[in-house]
Amino acid sequence: MSSYQAPISDMTFNLFDVWQLDKYWQSNGQLQDLIEADTAKAILEEAAKICEQQIAPFAGEADQRGAQLADGKVSLPGHYHTAYQSLVEGGWTSLSGDPQYGGMGMPKTLSMMVDEMLCSADIAFSLYPGLTAGACVALLQHADEQTKETYLTKLYSGEWTGTMCLTESHAGSDLGIMRTSAKPNNDGSYALNGSKVFITAGEHELTSNIIHLVLAKLPNAPAGSRGISLFLVPKYLLDSNGEPSTRNNVNVGSIEHKMGINGSATCVLNFDDATGYLIGEPHRGLSCMFTMMNYERLSMGSQGLGAAERAYQNALAYAKERLQGRITEHDANKAEPIIGHPDVQRMLLNIKAMNEAGRTFATWVAALLDKSKYDNCQVSGQRANLLTPITKAFMTDQGLDACVTAQQVFGGHGYVKEWGMEQLVRDVRIAQIYEGTNGIQAADFMLRKVAYDKGNVLLGLFDDINNELLSQPNALSETLITYIANTRQLTTELLQRDNTVLAGAACDFMAMVAYVLYGYMWYKNVQALDGSKHTAGFIHGKNHTAKWYVNRILPRVTGLRETLISDSSAFYALSPEDY
């Protein structure tokens, strides 16, 4: 019974009013002949049709049926094949691909919004094109020309899909201890042996071939992560015409039985002298794989936002229709819609405020990635790198929180499968775990992104935001200036501590920074409102949601600050046996 309608109006508001990206596109030589506002809106509207009509209505069915393994083959829900072909025929699998190899070359800001729609429709389904897009980024940056011509064109077209094979049963985030090996063959290829687990979209029959990007170690490789290389291992080896022919020695051992995303084939893959081809330089595989991490982790944020958006839409509709209790005393025998209850309003406003700020934040990060790519802007690249852990961790934390809160709006019905809310809770939960757990993201943010350069990028960002608030004030500016000053001061104080203390403070610190930046997102929303362009209802909704955020959510920063300056010695006082 869960439904979905793409939030096109808020997406275009962020693109063209908040961040004015149509002006940027027209000023950039690589984009000005490719994309403008009307084209972008048409792309979003067409993507919305597929998500709303062909994917979202059947997400519950896909969850119940799931991916199934029999005789070494994985079968998927039947409508996945139809929906995937619609994506292929519409060119959606090539949306952000390099035009030189058949891609449409659209900016990340646009493909990010399509990602959000797909995740709202069905996170499990979104992973098939999503993992392919990540594989394409790695190949584009590091493969040789012949490999790009052979494989990228098919991946962009959607004829083939891609995976990323990193994790092993004993080696999760600690990739340096992996055991998968690659030995040179006489023909320049390599024989890979080993097993990878948790491989998303690792086996299926949506496409005629699957291209696995596999991390493995060459003979006599340096110890640890410095000895990892990247290999391309196709499910089917290619004939002289570049078409799939002989089955490679990579096979699915099992599929995981998971809490959620049941339509996604999460596989154990076994490589038994599987033929692979080196991508990039030997022992540089991890850096090759990390090339696409900024893009992939933004996609993880889209999973959190996408699930939260669908949860909000359905909780809002339910709250308007569900008659329960009496808010007024006019008729003691007449129940009223629960949206009149203050606590239901509190829950809905919390979700709305975080969702809309999250969409503005994701658009901002995507725009920074675009400016780094198309303008070679160093500052934009540094800031995108800084904010990537927040897009992955904070946005997915908020996604789960939103789905649980929306489920609460439904009361007992939220716990029943038919209403679709419990699926959203189960599906979005994984986003906090894979692509690097959120605790790892926080440590990365604290230690590698902030402490590593003594806070220069973060403090510089705070300074630029502060200057903007001073030069273009609105109703939120004064409050935000105070929060930024306090956060800036605490950052400099924390950076005087050692890395052990910083690691323990990482999660709280990242959340504190994120709440402040979400406040800035609401400042940008309010600043962009224009009575000549936007309806009175739209303006009223934005202004009052911004006020709610600043008054009722942003003060969480104060509590986090108090936590961060408190005595943390107890944190390190217990030995493992004392727990």
User: Global pTM?
Assistant: 0.97
Percent of the chain with pLDDT over 70: 99
pLDDT interval class at 330 (50, 70, 90): low
The answer on pLDDT for 292 being more than 80 is: no
Task: Say which residues have a Cβ less than 8 Å from residue 535's Cβ, sequence separation at least 6.
Answer: none
Q: What is the mean pLDDT of the chain?
A: 95
Residue 125, domain member (yes or no): yes
Indicate if 28 and 118 belong to the same structural domain: yes
Backbone φ and ψ for 114, nearest 5 degrees, come out as -65, -40
Residue 578, domain member (yes or no): no
Residue 78, domain member (yes or no): yes
Indicate if 124 and 72 belong to the same structural domain: yes
Of 100, 179, 157, 144, which Cα lies nearest the Cα of 277? 144
Mean pLDDT of 541-564: 98
- Alpha helix ranges (H) inside 122-173: 123-142, 145-147, 153-157
The answer on pLDDT for 443 being more than 90 is: yes
Which residues carry out catalysis? 435
**Hey, what amino acid is at 245?**
S
Indicate if 141 and 50 belong to the same structural domain: yes
Indicate if 259 and 377 belong to the same structural domain: no
Residue 579, domain member (yes or no): no
Domain boundary among 260, 290, 320: 290
What pLDDT digit, counting tens, does each position of 118-139 carry?
999 999 999 999 999 999 999 9
What pLDDT digit, counting tens, does each position of 206-232 carry?
999 999 999 999 999 998 888 999 999
Indicate if 321 and 413 belong to the same structural domain: yes
Indicate if 448 and 322 belong to the same structural domain: no
CB 409, CB 346: distance < 8 Å: no
559 burial type by CB count under 10 A (0-12 exposed, 13-18 middle, 19+ buried):
exposed
Residue 134, domain member (yes or no): yes
* Predicted local distance difference test score (pLDDT) of residue 225: 82
Here the tokens at position 332 are 């003691």
Would you put residue 469 in left (φ > 0), alpha (ψ -120 to 50) or beta? alpha
Domain boundary among 251, 270, 290: 290
Of 556, 198, 165, 172, which Cα lies nearest the Cα of 397? 556
Of 287, 279, 285, which Cα lies nearest the Cα of 189? 279
Domain count of the fold of the chain: 3
What pLDDT digit, counting tens, does each position of 375-412 carry?
999 999 999 999 999 999 999 999 999 999 999 999 99
The answer on pLDDT for 331 being more than 70 is: no
Neighbouring-strand partners of residue 236: 247
CA dist., res. 290 & res. 296, Å (int): 9
Indicate if 168 and 300 belong to the same structural domain: no
Task: Say which residues have a Cβ less than 8 Å from residue 171's Cβ, sequence separation at least 6.
Answer: 177, 178, 179
Here the tokens at position 454 are 């003594």
Residue 3, domain member (yes or no): no
Residue 471, domain member (yes or no): yes
Indicate if 286 and 298 belong to the same structural domain: no
What pLDDT digit, counting tens, does each position of 235-266 carry?
999 999 999 999 999 999 999 999 999 999 99
In b/e form, how buried is each residue of 297-322, taking b as 16+ CB within 10 angstroms?
A: bbbbbbbbbbbbbbbbbbbbebbeeb
For residue 449, the enclosing domain spans 437-571
Kindly report which listed range (74-88, 145-159, 215-229, 279-293) carries the lowest average pLDDT score: 279-293
What pLDDT digit, counting tens, does each position of 263-284 carry?
999 999 999 999 999 999 999 9
The CATH number of the domain holding residue 388 is: 1.20.140.10
* Residue tagged 């994701």 (tokens): 362
Indicate if 12 and 135 belong to the same structural domain: yes
CA dist., res. 168 & res. 180, Å (int): 8
Cβ neighbours of 102 (radius 10 Å): 17
* Predicted local distance difference test score (pLDDT) of residue 294: 67
Mean pLDDT of 479-504: 96
Indicate if 39 and 132 belong to the same structural domain: yes
Domain boundary among 434, 463, 484: 434
The answer on pLDDT for 177 being more than 90 is: no
Indicate if 506 and 378 belong to the same structural domain: no
Residue 577, domain member (yes or no): no
Alpha carbon 400 to its chain centroid, in Å, reads 13
